[in-house]
């Protein structure tokens, strides 16, 4: 199955919870995959968690042919293993990447979409 992630920005947790419930209900009713959503409450939180180096790790994992080890990820992005490990732990916590049973790392999403809007106050 092709997994899709949409990253959103919204500080209204109630509206996000209601939207997630409606999406889940549509999925249950239709039996079709509805995609997944990761929400951040503000641009500051988004850019604090998803730095350029972490985006590069996600991109490299999307390019990989299957799951790979932390050392291999570090080698591919030409960075220190410890720093890559720390960044991968943040990405794991967010759910952008996953760890396999044999402790390898993979990005399960074939498509990641960032949905951001700025409106005049």
pTM of the predicted model as reported, rounded to 2 decimal places: 0.84
Residue 64 lies in a domain: yes
pLDDT tens per residue across span 5-59: 999 988 877 887 788 778 778 878 888 887 888 989 889 999 999 999 999 999 9
Residue 58 lies in a domain: yes
Residue 121 lies in a domain: no
Residue 65 lies in a domain: yes
Q: How many domains does the chain have?
A: 1
Residue 48 lies in a domain: yes
Q: Which domain holds residue 50?
A: 3-115
Token pair for 104: 């390898």
Instruction: Quote the Cα angle for 51-57-2, to 5°.
Output: 110
Residue 120 lies in a domain: no
pLDDT > 80? residue 1:
no
Q: Assign 3-class secondary structure to the chain.
A: CCEEEEEEECCCHHHHHHHHHHHHHHHHHHCCCCCEEEEECCHHHHHHHCCHHHHHHHHHHHHCCCCECHHHHHHHHCCCHHHHHHHHHHHHHHCCCEECCCCCEECCEEEEEEECCCCCC
Q: What is the CATH number of the domain that holds 105?
A: 1.10.10.10
Residue 7 lies in a domain: yes
């Amino acid at each position: 199955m092709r997994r899709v992630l949409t990253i959103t920005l919204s500080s209204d947790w109630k509206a996000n919870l209601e939207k997630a419930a409606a999406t889940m209900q549509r999925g249950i009713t239709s039996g079709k995959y509805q995609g997944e959503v990761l929400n951040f409450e503000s641009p500051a939180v988004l850019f604090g968690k998803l730095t350029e180096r972490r985006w590069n790790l996600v991109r490299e994992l999307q390019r990989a042919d299957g799951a790979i080890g932390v050392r291999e990820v570090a080698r591919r992005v030409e960075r220190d293993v410890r720093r890559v490990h720390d960044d991968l732990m943040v990405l794991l916590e967010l759910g952008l990447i996953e760890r396999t049973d044999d402790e390898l790392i993979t990005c399960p999403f074939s498509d990641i979409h960032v949905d951001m809007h700025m409106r005049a106050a």
